[in-house]
A and B are shown apart, each in its own frame.
Chain A
Amino acid sequence: MIAEKPVWVKHEGLQIFSIDVQPNGERFATGGGDHKVRIWNMKSVDTDLQNLDPKERLLATLRDHFGSVNCVRWAKHGRYVASGSDDQVIQIHERKPGSGTTEFGSGEPPDVENWKAVMTLRGHTADVVDINWSPDDSMLASGSLDNTVHIWNMRSGICTTVLRAHLSLVKGVTWDPIGTFIASQSDDKTVIIWRTSDWSLAHRTVGHWEKSLGSTFFRRLGWSPCGHFITTTHGYQKPRHSAPVLERGEWSAAFDFLGHNAPIIVVKFNHSMFKRTTSSAPETKRAGWSNGTSKSGGKDLQPYNVIAIGSQDRTITVWTTASPRPLFVAKHFFGQSVVDLSWSPDGYSLFACSLDGTVAMIHFNPTELGVRLTDNELEELKKNRYGDVRGRQANLVESPAQLLLETVSTKLSGSKRAASDVQQNQVITKPSVNVENTAKKRKSQVDDRNKGAEATGDTLNKASTSNRVSNPVNQKVYRRPDGRKRIIPEAVGVPQQENNIAVNGQSHNFLPAPSAAPGNRDSGDTPVETSNRDSSMKEIMGRNPDLKERPRITARATITESLVIEKVPGTSGNDGILNVEQSVGIKGSSSTDLLIRVFDWKEGETTAPVCLEACPKEHALDTVGAVSTSMIKETEISCKRSGETLWSDRIMGRVTVLAGNPNFWAVGCEDGSLQVYTKCGRRAMPTMMMGSAATFIDSDDSWKLLLVTRKGSIYVWDLFNRKCILHDSLASLVSSDTKLSSTVAGTIKVISVKLSKSGSPLVVLATRHAFLFDTSLMCWLRVADDCFPSSNFSSSWNLGSAPCGELAGLQVDVRKYMARKPGWNRITDDGMQTRAHLESQLASSLALESPSEYRQCLLAYVRFLAREADESRLREVCESFLGPPTGMAEAATSDTNLSWDPYVLGVKKHKLLRNDILPAMASNRKVQRLLNEFMDLLSEYENTEPADAIPKGSAPTIDCGGVPSSLDQMDSDPPAVTATTPLTIDNEKQVSLGNSAALETGIVCEETGSEDQEKHDQNSRDQGS
């Protein structure tokens, strides 16, 4: 036995919380209190190669965490290393081609190897303490101080399951090598065994942990490679601390490893089993227990496990399950608690790390531990005991439909990310072809790239960079219409490549991490042009200082930034309860010109926008015969198109708001008058008197005009029919808000009022709470608020799907606003809040009539329910989308049955059910019975409905414009959805044919993938041995 302590393995002198050896034995990783993960060269600790160049020792430093790194674990295939941290996230790192970089400003030399974070797993609401990969690397389990265990799907990076049964901090997780269970240990002094088939609780074990005292950093329990034992940590049996061992099946404490003087923090089984050679001295003493294997073989040849135990008493002990006494005790290695252990792949070296910031390696030889069983022997042993392991890894699928839907659901989640990357898919499927393709394109950019290569060389070489006269940077700068400067940077060097470094000299697309697929080098270079053209186009069209929401054909402008509505006690109010005051903006803006632009989309893109401008003018009016000259305040209104004045007018008083669209213009004045002009500037109506100054104004695409006055009255008119659609007041918002802000009771600040895309008034307060007026309910609905701070779903609204969703915008505002507030506390979500949040989001998006957001939210909600296996809710959702039983449905189609509408926001409910809800449900097999039930029901419906049952009365629920266009968009929007119609008979026959073919190939790919994976596993194991 040789022991060593490499002093150069350190994390700036801070604690090292975790250590793990790469399964191919080339590297080992450490995680420490300095928030970093470090990857070290195994050669540098090899007993033979002590004189390795010190620069080659540390291969990489990963600085992606914002908290102490508590756990690092390599995947079994060795390509990824996962790290869990106090910052609540898990990062997955992978080696990328190219040379390593350093962090700017760190002053450290560049890394030897280029390791980069490729995936971030977010979901825990407290420190992640322990993580472990599943035996087949398809999943990752993580234990956290939020009392949960999360199970992550490592293909998609999505959390598939949250295990909640522990009553206190979860500090250790371990996988059954057979794949049937996982075990977790918690500060609640229990160990829970979970079934991986449906994630139910198999057994909660109370045992020798009950009497344990004191707290420990970790409770890293371990599962023996034979699958028979779980050795747990932090037990106590008077007078010693112990590591209680549970036996498979009974899950009861079988025996304890006794002897440590302080709590046991970590146990680690050797990856293999060992046996005595015939030559070695036969073990005379036998313990009363054995491995549970058949005792037919000679006792000496019976394989046993080797286990290392690390404790707070600073010692490490190594035991075999063939002897009741430790084989080896390592004292005085560390100054503080041992917190993590790892065995080398050959099984003869043990790595340990400690809170004192050091690591130690202990190398054994076969005479000490015995002879290692080969992988085949171990497999054979497991096979004899548990049957063929393959096939029982996961829970069984009960119907082929489940499989189909699962592929659909993975595609769905994948496509979400793919959308942002250009040409990603081709890259994944055919890397080699792609190289050829790109080669041509590259030629044109050769010069550029050479320059770039130089540049990266330089950046790596710090000394030369700082002094070098840099070659001119080829960047493009322009001003956006809103006056902001935008730079398109110059691309330098080699962008991140898709081709990943093969671990064992074998390159294939095993387990592609979706977020790790950032597109090929083309997406780094060429799309710069195209996407830029896109966005600049959009900006020219869309971004103008004063128009925000509806850039194309309408515009509005208001002077006031905000509006305060105060609820004054009834006695003091003279004419009403409401008194509206403008708080900001009015004084500064007295001289400001108002300007709006309206783009008439119909006339083509080339036409310049029509601008309406209001400039205050002061005239000294000489009245003949008057004693003095009086100043008359007037505002000149002028309408221009590219410099040429179309019409102009003068209004008395100061203009506060402007609005316009291709049909009309509206000008509101300080004195409470409102003037409406026709397109050509005729005064369409006599001046309308509002009683107080207009503060917010908005118009839709056609004839609707919204106005909010200073006193908080809100009007919506249909100017075409000269009708008032709505007259209400913001008063109800005041009362609803009083309780929240007790300091200034009865006051609200309004920051914006506008018409939502669905044509209803939408008010946003300074608190960023948003309210929508429902014209059928005739009351205000709160559609965005901050009631769910700890929801996992918070801030999850994307701005991605082409036109940024309306609700999303509101949500983001709320989040941003909340973020500024001081006071941040860790709130643990028990799932209730997330659910409530999703439900309210769903209802809000329905109220806003935002179909794409509705769909998105529905998906998330169903996925959440599926994950939680909330069958009753899922059933209700499905039923609401399915409609009344078939017989009734037929009756309903014939006459007007109001009870069930087959459309929601213009989308057929059945289509949503078939394309979105059911695939989303497929993510958890626990609900597959329910899924099958609805699959059957749905297909029944679609059989009864004639195939050409064209949408009757196309948009039944919608009364105003705007939505039909988004309807089209829905249909053409996400490519994956339409391409993955499973099973059932679709309306368009060809499509469904093509689809089924696509699906089949999809499955084939899947299978080859898994074969690859097995091969790969096999290989890595062989390599290891």
Chain B
Amino acid sequence: MSAINITNVTVLDNPAPFVSPFQFEISYECLNSLKDDLEWKLIYVGSAEDETYDQTLESVLVGPVNVGNYRFVLQADPPDPSKIREEDIIGVTVLLLTCSYMGQEFLRVGYYVNNDYEDEQLREEPPTKVLIDKVQRNILSDKPRVTKFPINFHPEDEQAATTAADPPPEPTDEQAGVNGESQVLPDQPPKPEESPQES
């Protein structure tokens, strides 16, 4: 049972210039009070091929987590264009909104984002050097891809099973059947915050 259900996400200020901050109004319901805060992250996927281009735009803690319905606005800076390969700036990419509890990711909302010039002429004849100030960002807000992962919200339960520790075996993709999606929305277990490799 998920203690937290996301009820709605409204993308505010969309479409907007590439360099303007992101704003999401997130509504969620909480069925069981939690002791720790929720951690919401916004990740901009810089390149579909390479995870290292992912940029974590914002990471906030939201709490206290009590029973009821809540909402808040998540604001985040735009991605740093210098960290994105030039050829990847224009075009379609993905924005990930994730929610974790005690280091365990249990929810992931993926949005397609289209970056293009607003100016007709620029669009047809793109300059060799990207004019970042002229790029318009459009989030396809009506097509979120929601993925849930089973985690244990109450590890103190005596019956606590091993669920929390297991990598999510079969994440449920709500829009199962969209196969091409796997490339851009990889169903990977939550990323470790710090990654000390075993010696």
Of B83-91, B120-128, B161-169, the one with at least 4 CB within 8 A of chain A: B161-169
CB distance B66 to A528 under 8 Å? yes
CB distance B157 to A820 under 8 Å? no
Interface string of B64-82 (1 = CB under 8 A from A): 1011111111100000000
**Between A and B, how many residue pairs show CB distances below 8 Å?**
249
CB distance B159 to A795 under 8 Å? no
CB distance A158 to B33 under 8 Å? no
Q: Is A1002 positioned at the interface, with any CB of B under 8 Å from its CB?
A: no
Q: A105-B146, A795-B160, A800-B156 are in contact. Are A492 and B27 (CB under 8 A)?
A: yes
Interface string of A493-528 (1 = CB under 8 A from B): 111100000000000000000010011010111011
Q: Is B20 positioned at the interface, with any CB of A under 8 Å from its CB?
A: no
A484 to B58, CA, bound (A): 10
Q: A87-B150, A518-B67, A744-B199 are in contact. Are A104 and B155 (CB under 8 A)?
A: no
Q: Is A60 positioned at the interface, with any CB of B under 8 Å from its CB?
A: no
Residues of chain B within 8 A of A484, CB atoms compared = 59-61
Residues of chain A within 8 A of B144, CB atoms compared = 104-105
CB distance A66 to B72 under 8 Å? no
Distance in Å: Cβ of B188 to nearest Cβ of chain A:
11
A766 to B8, CA, bound (A): 40
Residues of chain B within 8 A of A106, CB atoms compared = 146, 174
Q: Which of A470, A491, A564 contacts B69 (CB under 8 A)?
A: A491
CB distance B10 to A66 under 8 Å? no
CB distance B29 to A101 under 8 Å? yes
Within 8 A of B (CB), among A475-501: 475, 480, 484-496
Interface string of A811-836 (1 = CB under 8 A from B): 01001101110101000000000000
Of A71-79, A642-650, A746-754, the one with at least 4 CB within 8 A of chain B: A746-754
Q: Is B196 positioned at the interface, with any CB of A under 8 Å from its CB?
A: yes
Residues of chain A within 8 A of B32, CB atoms compared = 515, 518
Q: Is B130 positioned at the interface, with any CB of A under 8 Å from its CB?
A: no
Q: Is A95 positioned at the interface, with any CB of B under 8 Å from its CB?
A: no
Residues of chain B within 8 A of A158, CB atoms compared = 158-159
* Interface residue tally for chain A (C-beta within 8 Å): 102
CB distance A824 to B167 under 8 Å? yes
Q: Is A431 positioned at the interface, with any CB of B under 8 Å from its CB?
A: no
CB distance B69 to A494 under 8 Å? yes
Q: Interface residues of B toward A: which range?
A: 35 or more
Of A121-129, A437-445, A1009-1017, the one with at least 4 CB within 8 A of chain B: A121-129
Residues of chain A within 8 A of B103, CB atoms compared = 816
A623 to B35, CA, bound (A): 61
Q: Is A622 positioned at the interface, with any CB of B under 8 Å from its CB?
A: no
A822 to B192, CA, bound (A): 12
Q: Is B36 positioned at the interface, with any CB of A under 8 Å from its CB?
A: yes
Residues of chain A within 8 A of B92, CB atoms compared = none
Closest B residue to A87 using CB positions: B150
Closest B residue to A525 using CB positions: B68
Of A378-386, A451-459, A652-660, the one with at least 4 CB within 8 A of chain B: A451-459
CB distance B72 to A490 under 8 Å? yes
Closest B residue to A811 using CB positions: B155
Interface string of B112-134 (1 = CB under 8 A from A): 00000000000000000000000
Residues of chain B within 8 A of A35, CB atoms compared = 172
Give the one of A63, A116, A518, A860 with max B CB within 10 A: A518
CB distance B145 to A105 under 8 Å? yes
Interface string of B88-119 (1 = CB under 8 A from A): 00000000000000111000010000000000
CB distance A103 to B1 under 8 Å? no
Closest A residue to B167 using CB positions: A824
A524 to B162, CA, bound (A): 30
Closest B residue to A36 using CB positions: B172
Closest A residue to B146 using CB positions: A105
Closest B residue to A480 using CB positions: B61
Q: A796-B158, A800-B35 are in contact. Are A766 and B196 (CB under 8 A)?
A: yes
**19 contacting pairs across A/B (C-beta < 8 A):** A63-B148, A87-B163, A103-B5, A125-B162, A470-B12, A473-B73, A484-B61, A488-B62, A492-B70, A492-B71, A515-B32, A519-B66, A743-B199, A744-B199, A747-B199, A766-B196, A812-B102, A816-B192, A819-B165
